[in-house]
Amino acid sequence: MPLEAATPPTTDPTDALRDEVRARYADAARAVLGQTPRAGEPASGMAAACCTPGGDERFGGTLYDAAERSSLPDAAVLASLGCGNPTAVADLMPGETVLDLGSGGGIDVLLSAARVGPTGFAYGLDMTDEMLELARRNAAQAGATNVEFRKGAMEAIPLPDASIDVVISNCVVNLSTDKATVLAEVARVLRPGGRVGISDVVADDDLTPAQRAERGSFVGCIAGALSFAEFHAGLAGVGLDGISVTATHAVGDGLHGAIIRATKPIDWTPDRIHAVALPRPTGELPVLAASDGCCGEGCGCS
C-alpha cells in the first residue's frame, strides 16, 4: 500500500514578522546591555530598528524634555525607540494604574510611575526577554517600586478585565500583526471611564498598505502603520469614544508621528465590540528594507 504524501507544514506570514520584530528589538536591547548581538548583526546593534536612537529628532529619546531625561537611567533613554512621548499627553493622575504596551527599556513606565506616585502603579508589557531584562535593570537603578514588567503579547494582555485606568504605548501598535485584537484587548483591560493616550506612526488616508510598504519596512514602524481613518475606525469598533488622532510631526512621505486618544464609556459592555477590517500582513510586506536593513528613505533612521 503506497504511503500517503506528508502534508507540508503551513507557514503563517505573520509569524515571521512577529519573530523578526522580536529578534530585532532584542538586538537593540543587547546593544544597550553591552551583550553580543546575533551572528551577522552590526556590533552596535542600533541599526536593528527604524525607531532607533541616534540623534534623529523624529524618533527616540530626544522626544522627551531634558528634565525627564535627566531623571532616568541613561540606559532607559538610550533604549527609547519611540516616535513620541505618550506620558506627556496621557494626563496621568496620582493613584492611577497605567499599562504601557511594548514597554521596551522602560522609559515610559518609569515616567508614568513618577507621575502616578506611590499610590499608583505602572505596568510594562513586552514580548522580548532582553528588553524585559533591560527594563527591570533600569527600574532597579531608578529605585522605582511601583512598577512591574510582564512578558506577553499585546494581542493577549495578561491582566484582568477593567484593571487599568490608562493605556499608553509608544510606536508599538504599528508592529502588531493583528491590530483589531490589540484594540479589543485595550478596551477589555480599561476600567469604565479609562482612557487611551498613545503615540504611533500614522499614515495619510490616501496611502494604501502597499504604498506604506514602499516607504519602509514592517520592523521599521512604517509598513504596518494604520491610516488616520483606520485608527479612528479601529477604536470606534471596540466601543471607545472621545477619539482623536492628531499628527505631531512628519516622519516620512505621508507618514506622521501622532497622538491617539480615546475613552472607555462608563456603560461599556463587550457587545460593543464589532468587527472592523483593519489591514493585516499578507506575507508581501517587507520585514526589512533592502537598502539598509532599516526602513528606507525619509523614515527617520540614521
Q: Which residue has the cell 488616520?
A: 228
What kind and span of H or E run contains 25? helix 13-33
Q: What is the pLDDT of residue 220?
A: 64
Task: In whole angstroms, give the CA distance from residue 302 to residue 300.
Answer: 6
Q: What is the pLDDT of residue 177?
A: 87
| Spans of the chain, pLDDT less than 50 | 1-10, 39, 42-62, 64-66, 69, 72-80, 284-302
CA distance to 26, 214, 222, per residue, from 291 (Å): 21, 12, 15
Q: What is the pLDDT of residue 300?
A: 36
Q: What is the pLDDT of residue 6?
A: 37
Q: What is the pLDDT of residue 21?
A: 67
> Domains of the chain (ranges plus CATH)?
51-272 (3.40.50.150)
pTM metric for this prediction: 0.78
Cell for 152? 506577553
| DSSP β-bridge partners for residue 244 | 261
